[in-house]
Amino acid sequence: MTDSLPLNNQVPIGFTDLFMQQASHQLWLIQSLRDLFAHWGYDPVIPPTVAYAEGLSADLVPYVYRFFDREGNTLALRADLTLPVARIVGTRLYSQPLPLRLCYVERVFRHVAPQAGQRREFTQAGIELIGVNTPQADAEVIALAADALQTIGVQGLSLAVGQMAFFGALLGEMELADAQIDRIKTAIDRRNDLHLREILQETDLPPSMHTLLRALPTLTGGREVVSRARALTPVRAAQEALDRLEEVLDLLDAYGLSDVVLVDLGEVRGMDYYTGIVFQGYASGLGSAICSGGRYDTLIQQFGPDLPAVGFGMDIGLVRLITDPHIPGGPDVIVQNCGHPSCCAIVSEMRRQGWRVIVDTLERTDQELIAYAAARGARAAVCRADRWLVTAIDGSTHTVSIDRILEEYKTW
Amino acid sequence: MVVTRTVQPITIALPKGRLLPDTQELLDRVGYDSTVVGNGTRKLIAPDPAAQAQYLLVKPADVPTYVQYGAADVGIVGQDVLREAESDVLEPLNLGFGRCRLVVAGSPEQREMDLRLAPHLRIASKYPQLARTYFQEQGISVEIIPLQGSVELAPLVDLADLLVDIVQTGSTLQANGLVELEHIAWFEAALIVNRASQWTKADQITALVSGLATVLDEQETETVQ
């Protein structure tokens, strides 16, 4: 074994420092999404980072960081936001006028293998629309996800929309053990027909059911998929699930999304609490889903009244990998420190008007200040501030009188 | 807000080595000329403008990585490598070539041995994950000794008690005085697809998958006849 490396100068595996351009990019994404959610009428909610490790979603259990408080309770770092938001709604907000529109941009923690852009701490942005079970609500959430991805500059978007209730209706017609269902789901999820056939041969299902389940991985593509699915089964609940899917697809057409929306009836995994419409967003340059969401009508009743809900979330760290917005960083102007009250007032006014102004704290000479301004990418250096000698970054130098400076700096 | 879709070429990861000739022949039958890489060209990446595709030539064990990360949209790889890598990719097609078996092998005397009674078994393998899983499923605790090649050597020099490896004809085992003790699984070459590409390049991928499926069906029919 090699000697262990000192840890004090490292971050734990799966965690990341963000600084300079990446930190600005991250904050820009967070702010852009908060603004966008607000424009769609969603109110922020900020749950605590830590919760009791109870009632966790089975899909997340393997990834949850757990520890003990001094009373001996097991605590968990939050691994998603849907569960705490469901708790807040189920215990506190349920009597507010419905539907509730809630949003968050918060950090979550999952002990995942740090690969393909996944980190153990990441920022999740998402929304939950609670208290309505209508196609309009499903479509609003999908359209909002599309708007969010467009707004933050994600290219080559595709949205795969599925319907868990369709698969649920088919399963309702079959007698299968949980372990069998799990293996069937895995084979369908991986589009592995051969493996699916092998699993089905081990079950007591009639051949007609084999055909039906083996069709699921092929039920992906355009609107015609829904008709193909309809022809496969007369089961009423399955037909109703498809009715709902078509209503949502029609509404998404009206949102202008017909070109990027695809149908995915092969989506059978998802989070274990999904009950209806589900969707995943994919984008150029990223090998995994960039956002995912769906309807979960039975989660909130674990905490309080029975309220239907639909929502989505996205990992901002993944978005950062595939977007490159122009975010101005660094200062606009660097001013020599002269200490005159009138000069300080001018600097304050520039800052109030939104300029990023650095006042030198090193008593640099003119040449040093100009070089520093250039190195920091500032648009101008202001030397000998009592006379307001301005050197623009292109090298041109001129003098501005103190009473005109606040007018002129806008042109630098 | 009208959002539109763009069409981009697909990237196909090909495995260097024994699966390459069959892979290239199969792709050729569906109109993809992948001979622009390999075959003495020394090129590791090359475009195929006619098919709106480009090819990457990579080590077989790296094919699942390229595809899972989306550096390639699809790949052709042996299921042995795929299972070992535990990659999160789609596997829509088995390709019918490169068939081989994963087995437990050892000396002829070990035929009579009950593996459950061995307190500590050392297993040499190029497939440490698959070997571990196989024994774990039977509740047998083993020590896995990961090797990169020539696994048959390990029992002969007492590095390991048994080995887990791929056999095609069994001649390498035989030449080293070893025999197959237990069959674990059949493997063959498979087409794998990146989860995102399935949607972002849906048309091209569907065309490739259904094209290959048709050719494979024809092959099967010919064989049966």
pLDDT score of A344 more than 90: no
- Note the pLDDT of residue A400: 78
Q: Among partner residues B2, B5, B195, which is closest to A288 by beta-carbon distance?
A: B195
**Structural domain count of chain B:** 2
CA A133 to chain B, closest CA, distance in angstroms equals 25
Residue B147 belongs to domain spanning = 100-185
Answer whether B7 touches A (CB < 8 Å): no
Query: Which chain B residue lies closest to A151 (C-alpha atoms)?
Result: B1
DSSP state of A14: T
- Note the pLDDT of residue B3: 66
Q: Residue A386 — very low, low, confident or very high, per pLDDT cuts 50/70/90?
A: low
Residue B192 bridge partners (DSSP): B75
Residue-wise pLDDT tens digits, A84-114 = 999 999 999 999 999 999 999 999 999 998 8
Best mutation target among B65, B199, B203, B217 (most A Cβ atoms within 10 Å) is B199
- Note the pLDDT of residue B51: 83
Q: Among partner residues B3, B94, B197, which is closest to A260 by beta-carbon distance?
A: B3
Q: Residue B6 — very low, low, confident or very high, per pLDDT cuts 50/70/90?
A: low
- Note the pLDDT of residue B114: 85
| Same domain (yes/no): B172, B207 | no
Residue-wise pLDDT tens digits, B135-190 = 999 889 899 999 998 999 999 999 999 999 999 888 889 999 999 999 999 999 99
Q: Among partner residues A220, A259, A286, which is closest to B3 by beta-carbon distance?
A: A259
CA angle B8, B12, B18 (to 5 degrees): 170
Q: Which residues of A touch B89 (CB under 8 A)?
A: 190
CA A262 to chain B, closest CA, distance in angstroms equals 8
- Note the pLDDT of residue A377: 86
Residue-wise pLDDT tens digits, A196-255 = 999 999 999 999 899 999 999 999 999 999 999 999 999 999 999 999 999 999 999 999
| Same domain (yes/no): B15, B69 | yes
Strand order in the sheet with A74-77: A50-52, A74-77, A66-68
Q: Are A307 and A94 in contact (CB under 8 A)?
A: yes
pLDDT score of A411 more than 60: yes
Q: Are A82 and A299 in contact (CB under 8 A)?
A: yes
- Note the pLDDT of residue A338: 82
| Same domain (yes/no): B195, B207 | yes
- B4 lies in a domain? no
Answer whether B64 touches A (CB < 8 Å): no
- Note the pLDDT of residue A392: 74
**Would you call A158 and B202 a contact, using CB atoms and an 8 Å cutoff?**
yes
Residue-wise pLDDT tens digits, A143-186 = 999 999 999 999 999 999 999 999 999 999 888 999 999 999 99
Q: Residue A301 — very low, low, confident or very high, per pLDDT cuts 50/70/90?
A: very high
Specify the CATH number for the domain of residue B220: 3.40.190.10
| Same domain (yes/no): B28, B86 | yes
| Same domain (yes/no): B89, B104 | no
Q: Which residues of B touch A263 (CB under 8 A)?
A: none
Instruction: Determine the Cα–Cα distance for residues A274 and A165; give it in Å rounded to an integer.
Output: 9
Q: Phi, psi (5° rounding) for residue A223? A: -60, -30
| Same domain (yes/no): B91, B108 | no
Q: Residue A385 — very low, low, confident or very high, per pLDDT cuts 50/70/90?
A: low
Average pLDDT over residues B34-47: 85
Q: Among partner residues A221, A264, A289, which is closest to B196 by beta-carbon distance?
A: A289
- Note the pLDDT of residue B1: 55
Average pLDDT over residues A76-91: 96
What is the full DSSP assignment across A179-226? HHHHHHHHHHHTT-HHHHHHHHHTS---HHHHHHHHHGGG-EESTHHH
ipTM above 0.95, yes or no: no
- B75 lies in a domain? yes
**Would you call B4 and A259 a contact, using CB atoms and an 8 Å cutoff?**
yes
Q: Are A278 and A294 in contact (CB under 8 A)?
A: yes
What does the mean pLDDT of chain A come to? Answer: 92
Q: Is A162 exposed, middle or buried (0-12, 13-18, 19+ CB in 10 A)?
A: buried
Q: A400 versus B200: which is more confidently predicted?
A: B200
- B54-92 in b/e form (b: 16+ CB < 10 A) is bbbbbebbbbbbbbbbbbbbbbbbbbbbbbbbebbbbbb
pTM of the model: 0.90
- B5 lies in a domain? no
What separation, in Å, do the N-terminal and C-terminal C-alpha atoms of chain A show? 60
Q: Residue A366 — very low, low, confident or very high, per pLDDT cuts 50/70/90?
A: confident
DSSP state of A92: I
Q: Residue B5 — very low, low, confident or very high, per pLDDT cuts 50/70/90?
A: low
**Would you call A288 and B196 a contact, using CB atoms and an 8 Å cutoff?**
yes
| Same domain (yes/no): B20, B79 | yes
pLDDT score of A354 more than 70: yes
| Same domain (yes/no): B14, B77 | yes
| Same domain (yes/no): B52, B130 | no
Instruction: Determine the Cα–Cα distance for residues A356 and A333; give it in Å rounded to an integer.
Output: 7
- Note the pLDDT of residue A108: 97
Instruction: Determine the Cα–Cα distance for residues B13 and B58; give it in Å rounded to an integer.
Output: 7
Q: Residue A310 — very low, low, confident or very high, per pLDDT cuts 50/70/90?
A: very high
- B31 lies in a domain? yes
pLDDT score of A48 more than 60: yes
Structure tokens at B180: 């197959």
**Would you call B92 and A157 a contact, using CB atoms and an 8 Å cutoff?**
no
pLDDT score of A28 more than 70: yes
pLDDT score of A131 more than 70: yes
What percent of chain A lies above the pLDDT cut of 90? 72
| Same domain (yes/no): B78, B107 | no
Q: Among partner residues A194, A221, A287, which is closest to B196 by beta-carbon distance?
A: A287
Instruction: Determine the Cα–Cα distance for residues A49 and A26; give it in Å rounded to an integer.
Output: 19
Write down the H helix ranges in B36-123: 63-69, 79-85
- B3 lies in a domain? no
Amino acid, res. B20: L
pLDDT score of B40 more than 80: no
Query: Which chain B residue lies closest to A253 (C-alpha atoms)?
Result: B2
**Would you call B3 and A116 a contact, using CB atoms and an 8 Å cutoff?**
no
What percent of chain B lies above the pLDDT cut of 70? 96
| Same domain (yes/no): B60, B164 | no
Nearest CA to B73 out of B187, B189, B188, B208 is that of B208
Query: Which chain A residue lies closest to B205 (C-alpha atoms)?
Result: A221
- B134 lies in a domain? yes
Residue-wise pLDDT tens digits, A312-334 = 999 999 999 999 988 877 888 99
Best mutation target among B87, B93, B187, B195 (most A Cβ atoms within 10 Å) is B195
pLDDT score of A383 more than 90: no
Domains of chain A, start order: 20-322 (3.30.930.10), 333-411 (3.40.50.800)
CA B57 to chain A, closest CA, distance in angstroms equals 19
**Would you call B5 and A286 a contact, using CB atoms and an 8 Å cutoff?**
no
Q: Among partner residues B2, B6, B90, which is closest to A191 by beta-carbon distance?
A: B90
Q: Phi, psi (5° rounding) for residue A319? A: -60, -40
Residue-wise pLDDT tens digits, B109-133 = 988 888 888 888 999 999 999 999 9
User: Which residues are CB-neighbours of B20 under 8 A, at least 6 positions away?
Assistant: B14, B38, B57
Residue-wise pLDDT tens digits, A266-283 = 999 877 889 999 999 999
Amino acid, res. B110: Q
SS (H, E, C) A268-299: CCCCCCCCCEEEEEECCCCCCCCEEEEECCCC
Instruction: Determine the Cα–Cα distance for residues B202 and B127; give it in Å rounded to an integer.
Output: 33
| Same domain (yes/no): B17, B94 | yes
Q: A260 versus A395: which is more confidently predicted?
A: A260
DSSP state of B92: E
Write down the H helix ranges in A40-177: 82-88, 135-151, 164-172
Residue-wise pLDDT tens digits, B202-218 = 989 999 999 999 999 99
Other CB atoms within a 10 A radius of the CB of residue A65 amount to: 16
Q: Kindly report each contact of residues A79-82 with a partner whose C-beta sits within 8 Å and lies 24 or more positions away, as own/partner.
A: A79/A108, A79/A109, A79/A110, A80/A108, A80/A124, A80/A313, A81/A47, A81/A106, A81/A108, A81/A124, A81/A126, A81/A313, A82/A126, A82/A128, A82/A271, A82/A273, A82/A296, A82/A299, A82/A311, A82/A313
Answer whether B200 touches A (CB < 8 Å): yes
pLDDT score of B93 more than 60: yes
**Would you call A257 and B199 a contact, using CB atoms and an 8 Å cutoff?**
no
- B1 lies in a domain? no
Instruction: Determine the Cα–Cα distance for residues A252 and B111; give it in Å rounded to an integer.
Output: 64
> How are the residues of chain A apportioned to helix, strand and coil, as percentages rounded to the nearest 5?
40, 20, 40
Other CB atoms within a 10 A radius of the CB of residue B9 amount to: 15
